[in-house]
Amino acid sequence: MTDVKTPYDELLTELKAVSLLGSCAAVLGWDEQTYLPPAGAEHRANQLGFLAGIGHERATSPRIDELLAELEGSGLLGDPDSAMAVNVREARRSYDRATKLPRRLVEEISRVTSLGQQAWVAARKEKNFPAFQPWLEQILTLKREEAAAIGYGDGVPYDALLDDYEPGAKTADVQAVFAPLRDATVQLVTAIRESGKRPDVSILERRYPIDAQREFGIEAATKIGFDFNAGRLDVAHHPFCSGFGPGDCRLTTRYDEHHFPGAFFGTLHEAGHGIYEQGLDQEAFGTALGETTSLGIHESQSRMWENFVGRSRAFWSHVFPSAREHFPEALSNVPVDDFYAAINDVRPSFIRVEADEVTYNLHIMLRFELEQSLIAGDLQPADVPAAWNEKFTQFFGITPPDDAQGCLQDIHWSAGLFGYFPTYALGNMYAGQFFEAAAKELGDLNALFAAGDFLPLKEWLNRNIHCRGKQYRADRLVEVVTGEPLSQEPLVRHLHAKFDPLFGL
């Protein structure tokens, strides 16, 4: 006798097929950033465009709409937080969003951004924004078309793009939570500058052999809980993490023999993303309960492991002996307190991914403002370098010497990721709130870190955040886990607790 599938079972089968197609495309995207020979760029763009088209066709199948409608009218979704209700709710959201986009547009965005990323790599290397400008123009045209197709009610076009990364968030909401964080950040930066204290950062510019950096980075990522039996670490022009599905999560970083923090903290950061991916319910792959909540929540995990843990005094009291073994030439005569001060130096700098904890959010707010203007059409691509430099000087008091250290430093716009940047600062705020909540339940986290015990925090995150998948939207998840709505105050408390003693404030 043939088994008869219920509408819910059939829906899950369709959703998993769509996810498998997306996973295949993600592998090709990872390969493009790591191992693809330059001559293969156009063919790879065609491959990705083709897969995007097939995936879009499968994701917008009328049968999915029929199944969703049947389930929505069945009375089976009484508990809004149940697995079935969550999977149906998020499948409806994805379906309604996808059906607003024509296949032609989906394929073209995939194709153009694939080529655009290759153009960005070359332009960044040559410090030549005009070489990338035509690609940015094409990408902006496509993303504006996407925003118009999705719609944004009485809001602004940027809302439609932001919603793809932080579901339910509005531009005005983000602006409202950023304002007090910016004020608090500026005050702290000013106080640190006026303190006159400057750590010896030349420690970090000594020779750190790349092979040893890789070994030490993998050692540290393993300590905090990333499973290399289900992942790997490679090199890319811009660090990232790709979770392809159960048992396969890829990290990337980039190395500089005379700049220790870049690769090490980049590896910890991406390992934080990877721990989230590995903490998802593997049996729920393809459904909402097997997916991450939002990019802001994703970023909270990476920033927590990178900064709240990886830049803590307790962490280095545990790993510094190993660091000395890996880098005897650079660190044999360096006291751990001097090293700790150096990795927590605070001063304006050009590169976002290498920025200190305090100034980092200002880098995000700058990009948030600029890309809103780009999507609205108030800022033209040709004017981006000048606008970037003007705003950067206003925010940081220094001016980028070239485009590579200015408007070409990030891969995001070449990949069409407009609306992505604000999730980084939201992630820092979420991280502050989650870390405080974990400390209330687990006790003295620094004592655990100093003893090399990172498992309690990882398991707390697995239990409270990772395994929930998309059960809750980000704003509700924060309240469920911490008992409070999102606030900048926990992050600000963390920054003062760390940096006030370091700079004698």
Buried b (16+ CB within 10 A) or exposed e, 232-271: ebeebebbbbbbbbbebbbbbbebeeebbbbbbbbbbbbb
List, for residues 47-106, the tens digit of each pLDDT value. 999 999 999 999 999 999 999 999 999 988 889 999 999 999 999 999 999 999 999 999
Is residue 298 pLDDT above 50, yes or no?
yes
pLDDT at residue number 1: 47
List, for residues 132-176, the tens digit of each pLDDT value. 999 999 999 999 999 999 999 999 999 999 999 999 999 999 999
Q: Show the beta-strand stretches assigned E in 187-254.
A: 231-235, 241-245, 248-253
Which element (helix H / strand E) includes 437? helix 422-442
270 carries an active-site annotation = yes
List, for residues 311-320, the tens digit of each pLDDT value. 999 999 999 9
For the chain, which domains are there? 7-151 (no CATH), 171-502 (1.10.1370.30)
List, for residues 418-429, the tens digit of each pLDDT value. 999 999 999 999
Contact 52, 25 (CB under 8 A): yes
For residues 457 and 309, what is the distance between their CA atoms, to the nearest angstrom? 10
**Residue closest to 348 by CA, chosen among 395, 307, 312:** 395
For residues 410 and 414, what is the distance between their CA atoms, to the nearest angstrom? 8
Tokens of 167: 């579901």
Contact 362, 185 (CB under 8 A): yes
The better pLDDT of the pair 238, 373 is held by 373
For residues 289 and 95, what is the distance between their CA atoms, to the nearest angstrom? 16
List, for residues 359-394, the tens digit of each pLDDT value. 999 999 999 999 999 999 999 999 999 999 999 999
Mean pLDDT, the chain, whole residue set: 96
Q: How confident is the model at residue 2 (pLDDT cuts 50, 70, 90)?
A: low
CA 354 to chain centre: 14
pLDDT at residue number 156: 96
In sequence order, what DSSP letters do the residues of 345-413 get, joined into one string? -----S-GGG--TTTHHHHHHHHHHHHHHHHHTSS-GGGHHHHHHHHHHHHHS---SSGGGTTTS-STT
Radius of gyration of the chain (CA): 23
Residue 19 phi/psi, 5-degree rounding, is: -65, -35
The three-point CA angle 247-251-254 to 5° equals 165
Point out the catalytic residue in the list 108, 166, 270, 291: 270
List, for residues 118-139, the tens digit of each pLDDT value. 999 999 999 999 999 999 999 9
**Residue closest to 164 by CA, chosen among 151, 173, 183:** 151
Is residue 3 pLDDT above 80, yes or no?
no
Q: How confident is the model at residue 18 (pLDDT cuts 50, 70, 90)?
A: very high
